[in-house]
């Protein structure tokens, strides 16, 4: 996701600096190259040697190490992330003080800047710090966190640096091309749960991973995303409007009430086709459970296809084996623009894995087959095809 991107990573004097090598590693894993710049106080918490071992480049410390490093590093970076950022550094940045390499770079850097504050909650609440943050934000700098929680000193409150995954995602999000800006996209994900009685339900093996990946990819690309999700243990992407549901009926209502305002509906959810005709309030005796009466749930996608207006619709066909003919029929019956097939009988392209091997059929009946890839990559292909972008 960050292939070819050059990130300047600034570290200041907070205990959270022990997490910075991990941030650097995760960014490198995404394809970025990293240059680090560390303040003197920062180097008390994390040895520059550690950063150098992780990034394979010099950890820059000294404003006078080279006459132009305060300009060169700024000119050759795509994004500046300061993590952790102390109250002292934030206050300095707010009024443009340039008394070390990091703060001088901040003045000469013209690209996107992300700041991840980390400090004691009382320091964070201090009006001087709050005023500095607002002033810096007005200049377009993006603050990520801090989070609430237990702080290094034992106090509870707002001041913890955001988690590495959150910071890395913020970098990816900031640098992603916003080619879907202005698009409103509804994504459904996960299974539904149809209650039998107070203890039991009918559901399926869907983990929600594919739908969550589509929601994440669309958000990164600037779309306004509503994620309507059945029960899932996946971490919801930041910046989506999250709408958790349990049953097919709840999902139907959530989708159909939002469809009018949407540009696209992507039904990645594995909606249960059946539900008990009459859920019990108490617990059913096992002797009567075999007589359980079932009914069909509404086909949400079919209903959406009947009233889609200008919206484009994507359905999924989870097959055991690739049944192209039946997928084409589904596309026609449900009035879809695309149908995505995946063979759930394969170990690495079914439920609860991070990879998928998809095929896509469009309205004209054209079939495109794709190799096994990460679900996040498959998500981008589906979005490219849906909005006629070149994959």
267 binds ligand CTP (CB under 6 A): yes
Give the x/- contact pattern for ligand CTP in 316-335, rule: CB under 6 A.
Answer: xxxx----------x-----
- Cβ at position 81, least distance to ligand CTP in Å: 38
Task: Decide whether 269 or 358 has the Cβ nearer to ligand CTP.
Answer: 269
In the chain, count H helices and then E strands: 14, 22
CB 268 to ligand CTP: min, Å: 7
Which contacts of 105-111 are long-range, i.e. CB under 8 A and separated by 24 or more positions? 105/8, 105/10, 105/37, 105/70, 105/73, 105/74, 105/80, 106/10, 106/80, 106/82, 108/70, 108/71, 108/74, 108/75, 109/8, 109/74, 109/77, 109/80, 110/74, 111/77, 111/78, 111/79, 111/80
Of 71, 3, 1, 88, residue with least CA distance to 37: 71
Residue from 299, 337, 343, 357 that binds ligand CTP (CB under 6 A)?
A: 299
Work out whether 223 is an interface residue with ligand CTP (CB under 6 A): no
The total number of residues shown for the chain amounts to 391
Name the catalytic one among 128, 153, 165, 372.
153
Kind and range of the H or E run holding 190: none
CA distance 10 to 137: 18
Q: Give the Cα separation of 306 and 95 in Å (integer).
A: 58
Which one of residues 271, 311, 338, 381 is an interface residue with ligand CTP (CB under 6 A)?
A: 271
Active site residue 121: no
Q: Which of 42, 75, 72 is nearest to 59 (CA)?
A: 42
The nearer residue to ligand CTP, 109 or 316, going by C-beta atoms, is 316
Stretch that binds ligand CTP, among 7-15, 103-111, 283-291, 309-317 (CB under 6 A): 309-317
Q: Give the binding range for ligand CTP (CB under 6 A) out of 43-51, 95-103, 112-120, 264-272.
A: 264-272
Least distance (Å) from ligand CTP to the CB of residue 318?
5
- Using CB under 6 A, count the residues that bind ligand CTP: 15
Q: Which is nearer to ligand CTP, 185 or 301 (CB)?
A: 301
> Of the ranges 168-176, 200-208, 293-301, 348-356, which one interacts with ligand CTP (CB under 6 A)?
293-301
CB closer to ligand CTP, 222 vs 370: 370
The enclosing H or E element of 334 equals none
Is residue 248 part of the contact set for ligand CTP (CB under 6 A)?
Answer: yes
Structural contact between residues 30 and 55, judged by C-beta atoms closer than 8 angstroms: no
SS3 19: helix
| 297 scored as a contact of ligand CTP (CB under 6 A) | yes
Both structure tokens of 70? 């305060």
The reply on whether position 338 binds ligand CTP by CB under 6 A is: no
315 lies in the site for ligand CTP, by CB under 6 A: yes
- Residue 207 touches ligand CTP, criterion: CB under 6 A: no
Beta strands per DSSP E along 13-75: 33-38, 59-60
| Catalytically active residues, by annotation | 153
């Amino acid at each position: 996701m960050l292939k070819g991107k050059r990130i300047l990573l600034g570290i200041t004097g907070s205990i959270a600096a022990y997490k910075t090598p991990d941030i650097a590693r995760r960014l490198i894993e995404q394809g970025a190259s990293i240059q680090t710049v560390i303040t003197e106080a920062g180097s008390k918490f994390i040895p520059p040697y550690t950063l150098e071992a992780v990034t394979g480049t010099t950890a820059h410390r000294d404003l006078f190490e080279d006459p132009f490093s305060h300009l060169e590093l700024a000119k050759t970076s795509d994004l500046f992330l300061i993590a952790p950022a102390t109250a002292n550094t934030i206050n300095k940045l707010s009024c443009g003080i340039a008394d070390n390499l990091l703060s001088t770079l901040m003045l000469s850097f013209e690209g996107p800047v992300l700041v991840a504050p980390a400090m004691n909650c009382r320091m964070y609440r201090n009006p001087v710090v709050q005023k500095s943050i607002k002033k810096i934000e007005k200049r377009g700098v993006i603050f990520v966190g801090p989070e609430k929680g237990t702080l290094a000193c034992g106090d509870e409150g707002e001041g913890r640096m955001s988690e590495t995954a959150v910071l890395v995602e913020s970098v990816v999000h900031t640098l992603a091309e916003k080619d879907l800006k202005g698009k409103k996209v509804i994504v459904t994900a996960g299974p539904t749960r149809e209650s039998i009685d107070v203890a039991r339900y009918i559901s399926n093996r869907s983990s929600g991973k594919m739908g969550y990946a589509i929601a994440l990819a669309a958000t990164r690309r600037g779309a306004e995303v509503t994620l309507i999700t059945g029960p899932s243990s996946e971490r919801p992407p930041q910046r989506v409007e999250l709408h958790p549901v349990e049953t097919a009926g709840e999902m139907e209502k959530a989708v159909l009430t939002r469809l009018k305002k949407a540009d696209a509906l992507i039904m990645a959810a594995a909606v249960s086709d059946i539900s008990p005709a009459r859920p019990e309030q108490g617990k059913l005796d096992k002797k009567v459970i075999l007589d359980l009466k079932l009914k069909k749930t509404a086909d949400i996608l079919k209903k959406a296809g009947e009233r889609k207006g200008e919206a484009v619709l994507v359905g999924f066909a989870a097959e055991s084996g690739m049944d192209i003919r039946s997928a084409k029929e589904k596309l026609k019956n449900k009035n879809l623009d695309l149908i995505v097939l995946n063979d759930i009988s394969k170990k690495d392209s079914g439920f609860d894995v991070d990879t998928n091997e998809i095929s896509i059929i469009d309205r004209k009946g054209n079939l495109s087959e794709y190799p096994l890839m990460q679900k996040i990559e498959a998500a981008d292909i589906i979005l490219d095809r849906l909005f006629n972008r070149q994959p």
